[in-house]
Amino acid sequence: FPLIFFFFFFFIESTKMALQGGVISLTVEFAQGLSEKDFFGRQDPYCIIRCGNQVFRTRTHVDGGKNPVWNQTFPFNVVSENSAFITIMDSDEGDDDFVGTATIDFSTARSYGTDRRQVPVTKKSGKQKGLLSVSLTFSAAGGPPPAGAYPPHASPYGTPAGYPSAPPPNGAYPPPPGAYPPPP
């Protein structure tokens, strides 16, 4: 019975931590090895990032080709969201072409405050073609408590008998005894 209680308590506590609200700052850094959608010239890729009902778009990297660079950061307010979905498109006259998708998991950033990863880009066929590099930072709602907000540490069992509760002020100790007593 105690073991079951421990696992249940651990599960509840880890769930609370995973669902702590705050802001995820997601930086879309670059992509490598994407599918080329333009037959003439180089493609002009951009990303659409979705997290819950929030949507952002990177700028278009004109002539970015298979290895575009964006280096753009977007703030997402998160409560229960644990991932973002990124769609990479090629900007064209008329309809834009689908390049691929990537999914970014927030769990490491929520646990440790930061994360940097390269995730696979998946084509419509389901095959991987290229990588997307992102970095994440998580700031909990309300931030850390201000300095001094924690109560002072107290010994769980109190002060042992015969010991002072705090060191005496300077000069309150008796002088140390002399070296050795004189021989008889």
Q: What pTM did the predictor assign?
A: 0.67
pLDDT computed for residue 118 by the predictor: 95
Q: Give the whole-angstrom CA distance, residue 64 versus residue 45.
A: 6
pLDDT computed for residue 181 by the predictor: 67
What's the CA dihedral at 125, 126, 130, 133 to 10 degrees?
140
pLDDT computed for residue 144 by the predictor: 56
pLDDT computed for residue 151 by the predictor: 44
Residue 66 neighbours by CB under 8 Å, 6+ apart: 31, 32, 33, 34, 35, 36, 43, 130
Name residues of the chain where pLDDT drops below 70.
1-19, 38-39, 143-182
pLDDT computed for residue 154 by the predictor: 47
> What Rg value do the Cα atoms of the chain yield, rounded?
29
Helix residue ranges per DSSP H, the chain: 2-18, 107-112
pLDDT computed for residue 41 by the predictor: 72
